[in-house]
A and B are shown apart, each in its own frame.
Chain A
Amino acid sequence: MSNFAAPPPQRRTDVDLATRYDIERFLYLEAELLDDQKFEDWLELFDDDIHYWLPTRTTRTVRERDLEIAGPDGAAFIDDDKAFLAGRVRRLASGRSWSEEPPSRTRRLITNIRPIRLESGEFEVRVNFHVLRSRAERHHDTFFGERTDLLRRIPQEPGFHIARRRIVLDTTTLLAPSISIFL
């Protein structure tokens, strides 16, 4: 079962400016590692129990709007644990991953960062994202939506681990031939 299935109710409080700064710095570092294609370093940002999830969504009427995003037992574009994320990174490094060989150029815009401190001491961070993928001669894809991360403080640099990630695209039908990059 998904880690998103039943989030325990927790007291939620705002974060101080110094913590907000640390979180923003961490998210920009992550984006930089991906755009610079340092995937092995990027993998280090995740906790061992990471659940990395991109559910599908459908167009629904207002009355059934709460069914729009697929649940933990539903369809997804990505539903990974740490071992499979590592497999994806291994694949990208193989030189034979043809949807990323030659590699895409990507540009990540991370914005509207909304961090909240949970009672557990972890941080829930919602961000808006816009990722541009340029590929080969003139191929161009754009991905946009919202990400919700669960961050845990760690004593060493860069200060956090990502323990959960849920990505929700604003599109229902993906207007791209693949998601061969990380979002």
Chain B
Amino acid sequence: MFDVSELVQPDQGLINPSIYTDPEIYQAELERVFARSWLFLAHDTQLPKPGSFVQTYMAEDPVLVVRQRDGSVKAFLNQCRHRGMRICRADEGVARAFTCTYHGWGYNLAGELVNVPMQDRAYHDDIDKAKWGPTRVPRLHNHKGFIFGTWDESAPSFEDYLGDMVWYFDALADRYDAGLTLVPGATKWVIDCNWKFAAEQFASDMYHVPSSHASALVALIEDPAILAEFQAQSAAAPGRQYAGNGHGSGFALRPDLVPTQAGPDFDAWVVANREQIYRRIGEQRALAVNGHNTVFPNFSWLTINNTMRVWHPRGPGQIEVWSWTYLPKDADERAKQAVRTSTIRTFSAAGVFETDDGENWTEIQQVLRGHQARKTTFNARMGLGHERHGTDGMPGGVTDDMYTEMAARGMYRRWADLMSGLSWPEITDRDEARQQGEQEAHRA
């Protein structure tokens, strides 16, 4: 067994890298982190009509998310109770029912077992079909079109789970009157790295951008003079980072909503809808919250780049990235195409930013094959002791620079609490006590 207090020491900013490699720790994560947390399942627009379904994963568990005839959504394990075969083997589509192809057990859209072949002869009519449906995801929550689920009946409500992160999430989810839609189709690829590298970077790491993505702007900006000016402005921009409940958000403070990375066709739409955006989420939030974000454990997005993704764990050393481009639902076609191509070019598996992230994470994972490498303590101390909380009226634990690892430490704190087997009330009490301590330290 492992001792969690020796694996991460968030208050000291210390990480034992075996948390990225140890198979035993990974198996414990599936049980203690992923099976207890709220996980992103699907966006409303992926399920346009009754019978629409997507197959996603809650960590390694395949889950069917299905639009019901009454418009509601249900989710259940994609696993037949007879011998464990998948009930549905398409990624998405529209179905009237699901039939296991092994022995033909049939399920309705709600995931109820409704047909057992040869029920009379084979089972002598002695099977209670109500008891033999696939395992239901017991709790679902739709937050402004984003559907989350958890296996844990004792987990806090989704609102309490998010805490102050909702203010940062809504800079994405609540930005437009007509809401968001996704470009049809997920882009899926595999990176040989632990899921925490990706989740942590999107929670906390603006620091990697100048070096990791040194070449991306070269692709986007042809004129070296404009490129140099842009880099100088970016380096000088003030920023903020939020950390709380394991979640994280970080961003530069911008003087205006435009220019966006998607270019003039989208800028024109944003300018025409500026007042709408300010009315919905406020000018300060609209301008500020434009950066990297992770809802613990594995749902991330980049507000200004219109990309969101889930880092599905696949063993200690591998993830599947599932990414989507999101758009304002009522934007005109030109604006939508501008966003779509811009996001593909920057943050798909062939995107000029994205490819270099995978390179880093893969290399780290390779290095951690080494015995010495795996016991060499990692430094997550950036900004430790220099947090300045309570800036600008932004809710939660906010520090006055985006170049800090406060949110990374917060993420590992939540990870450690869950991995220690603490109950949800114990975790919630600890978090509240910490937040009070931070506020008192700030006042002092």
In the complex, whether A156 has a CB less than 8 A from a CB of chain B is no
The answer to whether B344 and A178 touch across the interface, beta carbons within 8 angstroms, is: no
Most buried by B among A70, A94, A173, A175: A173
Give Cα A79–Cα B337 distance, bound, in whole angstroms: 11
Chain A residues within 8 Å of B349, by CB? 77, 174, 176-179
Task: Mark the stretch among A14-22, A38-46, A56-64, A109-117 that contacts chain B.
Answer: A56-64
Secondary structure of the A contact surface, majority rule: loop
Residues of B within 8 A of A136 (CB): 363
* Cβ-based interface call for B358 (8 A): yes
Q: Is the CB of A70 within 8 A of B190?
A: no
CB distance from B343 to the nearest CB of A (A): 9
Closest to B217 in A: A91
Q: Chain A residues near B94: list those with CB within 8 A.
A: 64
Q: A88 on the interface (CB 8 Å rule)? A: yes
| A12, chain B: closest CB distance, angstroms | 29
Which residues does chain A contribute within 8 Å of B358, judged by CB atoms?
99, 177-178
For residue A98, CB closer than 8 A to chain B, the reply is: yes
Bound-state Cα–Cα, A55 to B189, Å: 14
Question: Is A90 interfacial (CB-CB < 8 Å)?
Answer: yes
Q: Which B residues are CB-close (under 8 A) to A178?
A: 189, 349-350, 354-355, 358-359
Q: Give Cα A77–Cα B349 distance, bound, in whole angstroms.
A: 6
Given contacts A78-B344, A96-B214, contact A88 B352 (CB under 8 A): yes
- Structural contact, A60 and B93, CB atoms closer than 8 A: yes
Q: Does B40 contact A (CB under 8 A)?
A: no
- Whole-angstrom CA separation of A59 from B91 in the bound complex: 5
Interface membership of A180, Cβ < 8 A: yes
Question: Are B219 and A98 in contact, with the CB atoms below 8 A?
Answer: no
Residue interface mask B196-221, A partner, CB < 8 A = 1 = 00000000000000001011101110
B144 on the A face (CB < 8 A) = no
Per-residue interface assignment for chain B, residues 159 to 185, with 1 indicating a CB less than 8 Å from any chain A CB and 0 otherwise: 000000000000000000000000111
| B185:A87 contact, CB within 8 angstroms | no
Given known A-B contacts A178-B354, A178-B358, A173 and B93 have beta carbons under 8 A apart: no
* Assembly CA distance A80 to B350 (angstroms): 11
B192 touches A177 (CB 8 A): yes
Chain B residues whose C-beta falls within 8 Å of the C-beta of A60 in the assembled complex: 90-93
- Total contacting residues, chain B, CB less than 8 A: 48
Are B359 and A78 in touch, CB under 8 angstroms? no
A150 within 8 Å of B by Cβ? Answer: no
A12-56 contacts to B (CB < 8 Å): 54, 56
Cα distance A174–B322 when bound, in Å?
Answer: 10
Q: Which residues of A contact B384 (CB under 8 A)?
A: none
A172 within 8 Å of B (CB atoms): yes
The answer to whether B362 and A56 have CB atoms under 8 Å apart is no
Contact B218 A94 (CB under 8 A): yes
Q: Is the CB of A87 within 8 A of B344?
A: no
Q: Assess whether B222 is interfacial by the CB under 8 Å rule.
A: yes
Kindly state whether residue A73 has any CB partner on chain B within 8 Å.
yes
Asked if A173 contacts B324 (CB within 8 A), the reply is: no
Residues of B within 8 A of A61 (CB): 90, 93
Q: Contacts A90-B219, A98-B360 hold; do A75 and B350 have CB atoms under 8 A apart?
A: no
B101 to chain A, nearest CB (A): 11
Q: How far is the CA of A177 from the CA of B348 in the complex (A)?
A: 11
A76 to B81, CA, bound (A): 36
Residues of B within 8 A of A97 (CB): 215, 218, 355-356
**Alpha-carbon distance between A178 and B321 when the two chains are bound, in angstroms:** 11
CB <8 Å contact, B214 and A94: yes
Contact partner of B187 (CB less than 8 A), chosen from A56, A64, A80, A139, is A56
Q: 17 A-B Cβ contacts within 8 A?
A: A58-B90, A58-B91, A60-B93, A70-B184, A73-B340, A75-B344, A77-B187, A77-B349, A78-B350, A94-B215, A98-B215, A174-B349, A175-B189, A176-B189, A176-B190, A178-B354, A180-B355
Binding site for B on A (CB under 8 A): 1, 54, 56, 58-61, 64, 67, 70-71, 73-80, 83-84, 86-88, 90-91, 94, 96-101, 136-137, 139, 172-180
The 7 A-B pairs of least Cβ separation, nearest first, read A75-B185, A177-B358, A87-B219, A178-B355, A179-B350, A174-B189, A99-B355
Additional pairs, 19, CB under 8 Å, beyond known A64-B93, A70-B184, A76-B187: A1-B333, A56-B186, A56-B188, A60-B91, A64-B90, A64-B94, A74-B183, A75-B183, A75-B184, A75-B325, A76-B348, A84-B219, A87-B222, A87-B352, A98-B212, A176-B189, A176-B190, A178-B349, A180-B355
Using a CB–CB distance below 8 Å, which chain B residues touch chain A?
Answer: 89-94, 183-192, 212, 214-216, 218-220, 222, 320, 324-325, 333, 336-337, 340-341, 344-345, 348-350, 352, 354-356, 358-363, 366
